[in-house]
């Protein structure tokens, strides 16, 4: 039965719980509170300007060619190591482990001091977080950026206090798309795994949600090199103002995520 109680319910049996259908079946969610777990880069925050600045600073410091912004933006995703490797390959250079290790160390050192120079929250984020928090929902961050860098970034943007947990691969020693990282983040935030929605921008986030058996809303303004809608999320939004309605509209969709070969990387 359809029910209009609360901001998110779409199917309600009037027992105090809501049923949300996703690609892996019907999930039963409490009306009183959801834990909404966000990815960071390309989802909450437009970090591309500072990531690309750090990449090009690092390349120039090592007497390597820099990468134009438009090209470099498509390199983001899968972590800083992956971005460095793809930048080297783009220039026809070797991406040997020892070379990447040296570049990675330089990248992190520079990025840590400049991670909020030009990075900003995506439009409408803060008022929508206010709106969702007012009705009792809690928030967490689950990212493949290192926890200490993630916290430093969110603190610099005065957003850290909004999240009950901010977790990276160094928090638990695992990274997305391992569902254990996601589940551990939910528990650290004080949430319950069966009362969760994920929000992300990438193949990694979608695979994480599928592995954790939770619904996912994807943003189409992130850093994927293909349209995120083609990757099989449950819903797609183009602005944060659409997020509450997207959660409310979650319904059965086809799970097309069959390729399990991806392995996430760290920032």
Distance CA 96, CA 189 (A): 38
Q: Which of 122, 140, 150 is nearest to 267 (CA)?
A: 150
CA angle at residue 9 from 228 to 140, to 5 degrees?
A: 55
- Which residue pairs from 96-99 have beta carbons closer than 8 angstroms and sit at least 24 positions apart in sequence? none
Q: Of 39, 41, 53, 234, which one is the catalytic site residue?
A: 39
101 is catalytic: no
Element holding 30 (H helix, E strand): strand 25-30
Distance CA 219, CA 216 (A): 10
Q: What is the DSSP string of 135-165?
A: TT-EEEEE-SS-HHHHHHHHHHTT-GGG-SE
CA dihedral 57, 157, 128, 77 (to 10 degrees): 20
Q: Which of 79, 77, 51 is nearest to 231 (CA)?
A: 77
Instruction: Using the structure block, give the residue that is written with the tokens 């709106």.
Output: 131
**Number of CB atoms found within 10 A of residue 213's CB:** 17
| Helix, strand, coil shares, percent, the chain, to 5 | 40, 15, 45
Residues recognised as catalytic: 39
């Amino acid at each position: 039965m359809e029910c209009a109680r609360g901001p998110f319910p779409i199917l309600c049996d009037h027992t105090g719980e809501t049923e949300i259908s996703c690609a892996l079946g019907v999930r039963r969610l409490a009306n009183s509170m959801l834990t909404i777990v966000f990815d960071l880069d390309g989802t909450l925050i437009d970090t591309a300007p500072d990531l690309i600045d750090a990449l090009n600073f690092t390349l120039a410091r090592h007497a390597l060619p820099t990468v134009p912004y438009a090209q470099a933006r498509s390199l983001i995703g899968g972590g800083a190591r992956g971005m460095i490797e793809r930048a080297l390959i783009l220039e026809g250079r070797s991406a040997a482990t020892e070379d990447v290790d040296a570049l990675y160390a330089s990248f992190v050192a520079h990025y840590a001091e400049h991670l909020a120079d030009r990075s900003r929250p995506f439009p409408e984020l803060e008022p929508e977080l206010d709106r969702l928090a007012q009705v009792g929902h809690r928030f967490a961050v689950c990212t493949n950026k290192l926890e200490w860098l993630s916290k430093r970034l969110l603190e610099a943007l005065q957003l850290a206090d909004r999240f009950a947990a901010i977790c990276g691969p160094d928090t638990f020693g695992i990274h997305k798309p391992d569902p254990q990282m996601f589940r551990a983040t939910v528990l650290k935030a004080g949430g319950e795994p069966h009362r969760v929605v994920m929000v992300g921008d990438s193949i990694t986030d979608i695979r994480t949600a599928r592995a954790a058996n939770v619904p996912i809303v994807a943003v189409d303004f992130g850093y994927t090199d293909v349209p995120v809608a083609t990757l099989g999320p449950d819903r797609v939004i183009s602005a944060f103002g659409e997020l509450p309605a997207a959660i409310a509209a979650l319904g059965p969709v086809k799970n097309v995520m069959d390729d399990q070969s991806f392995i996430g990387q760290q920032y």
